[in-house]
Structures are given as structure tokens and as C-alpha cells.
């Protein structure tokens, strides 16, 4: 019985390894993917090449990374493919640091998803004010 189970598991592992082998990349291939991704992201950020870039990028204007001294209320807006999420994060420092999060998720109407994109900022503004 144990031998039969071990044999079945061994066969499953072999089939999994065989299937995944097609997706394994060499170190050189990974470096090539990295190089291409970087070039496309840079093209997506540049004003001159943004329109033709395969990867569209938006600058975030992040001035610094968190260092643990943050205190106050922070608003995050996340516009995805099908949802718009508004997130309020309240961070309080002191003897005991607390983080409180409140979020609301709105479905994006199909006509906005399939539209030109010009309506999205106005929709987000309207939804976040309700």
C-alpha cells in the first residue's frame, strides 16, 4: 500500500516537473526579460514614447519611502480594471502605535471600462465624494 502511494506521488511529481519545464527560463533568458521590461517601462514613463509604449506607466511622485515615523491620515486611491478602491489609513504614534484602515470599493461601469479613459477621473472624483 505504501509503495503504491509512493509510486503515485512520484509519478505526479514527474508529470508536474515535465509540465513546468516548459516555463523554466535560463539565467540569460531572465536577464533578457528584465532588460526588455525595463526598456518598456521607461518608454511608458517618457512623454515622447508613452503613446506607443507597450507598458503604459504613470509617475507616482513618491517623495520618500516609509521609515516608521509616519503619523496622520493618508488617502489611497486605487483604480484597477474593474474596481475603484478608496482607502483611508489612520496612523497614530505614541506609546502604542495604531493603524486603522477604512476602505470602500466601487464597481466601475462597463461603459467606463470600455471607454476612452477620459471619464475615469471624473467617475473616481464623484465616487470618492459620496
**Going by C-beta distance under 8 Å and a sequence separation of 6 or more, which residues neighbour residue 68?**
none
Measure the CA–CA gap between 46 and 50, rounded to whole angstroms. 6
Pair 38, 82 in one domain: no
Pair 39, 77 in one domain: no
User: Is 107:124 a contact under the CB 8 Å cutoff?
Assistant: no
Pair 121, 76 in one domain: yes
User: Is 79:122 a contact under the CB 8 Å cutoff?
Assistant: no
| 51 part of a folded domain | no
pLDDT at 130: 62
| 65 part of a folded domain | no
| 27 part of a folded domain | yes
The domain tally of the chain equals 2
Give the pLDDT confidence of 62-89 residue by residue, as tens digits: 888 888 888 999 988 887 778 888 899 9
Measure the CA–CA gap between 101 and 126, rounded to whole angstroms. 21
Measure the CA–CA gap between 130 and 127, rounded to whole angstroms. 5
Residue 18 lies in domain: 2-45
Is 70 exceeded by the pLDDT of residue 126? no
| 62 part of a folded domain | no
| H/E run at residue 99 | strand 98-107
| 64 part of a folded domain | no
pLDDT at 77: 84
Measure the CA–CA gap between 39 and 53, rounded to whole angstroms. 9
Amino acid at each position: 500500500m505504501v509503495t503504491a502511494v509512493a509510486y503515485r506521488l512520484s509519478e505526479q511529481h514527474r508529470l508536474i516537473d515535465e509540465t513546468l519545464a516548459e516555463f523554466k527560463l535560463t539565467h540569460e533568458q531572465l536577464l533578457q526579460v528584465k532588460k526588455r521590461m525595463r526598456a518598456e517601462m521607461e518608454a511608458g514613463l517618457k512623454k515622447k514614447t508613452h503613446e506607443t509604449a507597450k507598458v503604459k506607466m504613470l509617475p507616482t511622485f513618491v517623495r520618500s519611502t516609509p521609515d516608521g515615523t509616519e503619523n496622520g491620515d493618508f488617502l489611497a486611491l486605487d483604480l484597477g480594471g474593474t474596481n475603484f478602491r478608496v482607502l483611508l489609513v489612520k496612523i497614530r504614534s505614541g506609546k502604542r502605535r495604531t493603524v486603522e484602515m477604512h476602505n470602500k470599493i466601487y464597481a466601475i461601469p462597463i461603459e467606463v471600462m470600455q471607454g476612452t479613459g477620459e471619464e475615469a477621473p471624473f467617475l473616481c472624483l464623484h465616487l470618492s465624494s459620496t
